[in-house]
Chain A
Amino acid sequence: MAITKEVITYIAMLARLQLNEEEESSMVSDINRIISYFDKLKELDTSNIDAMEFLSMDEDAFEKALRDDVVDKSYDREELLHPEEEKGSEYFTVPRVVE
């Protein structure tokens, strides 16, 4: 099944990417080629395989891997704000968001 320009437009919107016409047509052809290469995986028999098998960890993960609930000092706001924020700003500024 070929991936159409419409599908790419939808995916680009999900990913918040704007493509110009030239980019869009080259993406459509590249992505079709790559996805059809990915389709090779369909040949592989993976019945009875648990998708979480690789990610699963040892039994002691819970006791050892988690962080204790301890508060540490936060950062100074000046170190965190976007470099383009005006001096003295307390916030991150974005275009007005209408709900």
Chain B
Amino acid sequence: MKLHEYTITQLHELISKKEVSVPELTRHMLDRISRLDSKLGCYITVTEEQAMERAEKVQKMIDEGALNSPLAGIPMAIKDNICTKGIPTTCASKMLGNFVPPYDAHVVKKLYDNGAVVLGKLNMDEFAMGSSTESSYFKKTKNPWNTERVPGGSSGGSAAAVAAGEAIYALGSDTGGSIRQPASFCGCVGLKPTYGLVSRFGLVAYASSFDQIGPLAKTVADCALILNAIAGHDPMDLTSSRRQHPDYTKALINDIKGMKIGIPREFIADNVQKDVRDAVLNAAKVFSSLGAECEEISIPIMEYVVPTYYIIALAEASSNLARYDGVKFGYRTANPKDMLDFCMRSRSEGFGTEVKRRILLGTYVLSSGHYDAYYKKALKARALITREFNKVFEKYDVIIGPVAPTTAYRIGEKINDPVQMYMEDIFTVPVNVAGLPAISIPCGFDSSSLPIGLQIIANRFDEPTLIRAAYTFEQNTDFHKAKPSIMDE
């Protein structure tokens, strides 16, 4: 096995036993990126020099016994909407093409504290608005399983990099499925934590009441290790939870006997691609065979979830993206006529079409005369949806279902149909609307040998149960062991 194929847990052991050095491992990853990334387009920025410098420093600290985190010396990469001091953070937008943050995001600080080696910044949909990474201003990322397919999005660069061994793990962000859906499309594990578990400070805001940072990695155990490092209260983010979080690796228990699992009827309806549905139903069988109680349930309010999500998310987005006016940072137009022209043209030239569409929609639902009918109505619907999920979790430990209605589709196939694209978020957005934690783990392949993801959803702050269910499934199946052929290149 080559170095990039190992998990965090395995590499930690190799590093501890001095069977591999951090600089050696980092060099291997950087070489791989320079060899393969022109094919896949995962990275927007590769920080080769800084990474090597950092690798030497981390190795030294490990040798001195000053660092013993399982993440110490592990080369990783970060979605390009998470601020990194001195490293461009573009949000895959022309608007932020010149933006070099003067500060680190809270999660980045935490990872540095744990000895992470940052390889670079990963491609994504512009401002995380999309689910195929096609709206990036810079490049299109290809799916490592089939380069004619999208990697999903918006954390498409993160998922593809992990799946292709261009990073051992990655950070992504999930506003309406942006970690889980690309994880599902690329056959890796993606965890979206409970809203408030991980600080958003330094995550460029798309929709503030939904955004959450989370890990993408090869295994559930790796995700638990990363979550341990990044979770916890941050006084800079008043929406971050103050509760003490447990050691998530303690939840890596291969046993789900007696666990109650709900499968919403609405998650396995006709709108789901047949082999995806079959894989999910098969997963239910696996759980049953391991001693869990699986039951079909119904969450009728599901049909209102997507409009609720989009109304609130786009309203927030329209406001969050108002700061890009060319004055303080970001793209500035040339030769403006006056202040209005400066602002209008900087914004119009700096943002791509999907971002503009979403800003317009968000502005519309907040504008005078429409606020009550759309925005306020959606807030109320959100309260109702949350109540429904609370009720489900009174009876069930977790919910399972597909992550997306389909597997990875062809590049260009859906880009011109925004409504269709929005509707395909149906299985991921309920989690964000209710602030729940959820994970995507490999559970099969479709007829074109593309990976299928299983989504497991737990109650707020019940990551331990989520991790335990996912870990048990993983330990008792082989889907996660399959790798795209590019892994061998």
A interface with B by C-beta (< 8 Å) = 3, 7-8, 11-12, 14-19, 23, 27, 30-31, 33-35, 37-44, 46, 49-55, 64-67, 75, 79-80, 82-84, 92, 94-97
Taking the complex as formed, is B258 at the interface, i.e. its CB lies under 8 A from any CB of chain A?
Answer: no
CB contact between B102 and one of A18, A38, A39, A80 (< 8 Å): that residue: A80
B43 part of interface (Cβ distance < 8 Å): no
Docked Cα-Cα span, A76 to B336, in Å, equals: 29
B303 at the interface (CB under 8 A from A): yes
| A18→B384 CA distance, assembly (Å) | 37
CA distance A12 to B363 in the complex (A): 8
A3 to B360, CA, bound (A): 12
Q: C-beta contact mask, B303-339 vs A, less than 8 Å → 1, else 0?
A: 1101110110000001000100101110010001111
B418–A30 CB distance below 8 A:
yes
Closest beta carbon of chain A to B133's beta carbon, Å = 20
Given A46-B377, A53-B383, A96-B338, CB of A40 within 8 Å of CB of B307: yes
Most buried by A among B318, B345, B357: B357
Closest 5 CB pairs of A and B: A46-B380, A53-B383, A79-B102, A18-B348, A51-B379
CB closest chain-B residue, reference A43: B304
A15:B357 contact, CB within 8 angstroms: no
CB distance from B341 to the nearest CB of A (A): 7
What's the least CB distance linking A42 to chain B, in Å?
A: 7
Task: Out of A16, A50, A64, A83, name the residue touching B325 (CB < 8 Å).
Answer: A16
A53 to B356, CA, bound (A): 30
Q: Determine the chain B residues whose CB is within 8 A of the CB of A95 once the complex forms.
A: 336-339, 341-342
- Say yes or no for B289: interface residue by CB 8 A criterion: no
Q: Do A31 and B377 have beta carbons less than 8 Å apart?
A: no
| Contact partner, B363, options A14, A38, A75, A82, Cβ 8 Å | A14
Contacts A41-B381, A92-B327 given: A31-B347 contact, CB under 8 Å? no
> A14 CA to B238 CA in the complex, in Å?
29
Give B341-384 as 1s and 0s: 1 = Cβ < 8 Å from A's Cβ atoms: 11111011001010011011101110100000110111111111
A93 to chain B, nearest CB (A): 9
The count of chain B contact residues (Cβ–Cβ below 8 Å) is 61
Chain A residue nearest in CB terms to B433: A54
Q: In this complex, what residue of B is CB-closest to A84?
A: B332
Chain B contact surface mostly: helix
For A11, give its contact among B100, B337, B364, B419 (CB under 8 Å): B364
Contact between chains at A34 and B418 (CB < 8 Å): yes
Nearest-CB residue, chain A, relative to B311: A38
Cβ contacts under 8 Å, B102 to chain A: 75, 79-80
CA distance A75 to B301 in the complex (A): 48
Given A44-B384, A94-B342, A95-B339: A12 in contact with B98 (beta carbons within 8 A)? no
Pair A49/B304 contact, Cβ less than 8 Å = no
Q: Which of chain A's residues have a CB closer than 8 A to the CB of B327?
A: 82, 92, 94
Could you show 15 A-B contacts with beta carbons less than 8 Å apart? A3-B364, A11-B363, A15-B322, A16-B344, A16-B347, A17-B347, A17-B348, A23-B353, A34-B310, A37-B422, A38-B307, A54-B382, A80-B328, A83-B329, A92-B327
A47 → chain B, closest Cβ, in Å?
Answer: 9
- A16 to B344: give the CA distance in the assembly, Å: 5
Residues of B within 8 A of A7 (CB): 364
Contact with A along B411-434 (1 / 0, CB 8 A): 000000011001100000000000
User: Shortest CB–CB separation between residue B107 and chain A, in angstroms?
Assistant: 20
B344 touches A40 (CB 8 A): no
Knowing A11-B360, A41-B304, A94-B327 are in contact, say whether A55-B344 is a contact too (CB < 8 A). no
- Contact partner of A15 among B98, B318, B379, B384, CB < 8 A? B318
The complex places the Cα of A1 from the Cα of B165 at a distance, in Å, of 51
Q: Is B273's beta carbon under 8 Å from chain A?
A: no
**Is B209 at the interface (CB under 8 A from chain A)?**
yes
Q: Which of A11, A17, A43, A51 contacts B344 (CB 8 A)?
A: A17
Give Cα A38–Cα B100 distance, bound, in whole angstroms: 37
Does chain A have a CB within 8 A of B254? no
A53 contacts across to B, CB distance below 8 A: 380, 383, 386
Contact A41 B360 (CB under 8 A): no
A-side contacts of B423, CB under 8 Å: 37
Say whether A42 contacts B384, CB under 8 Å: no
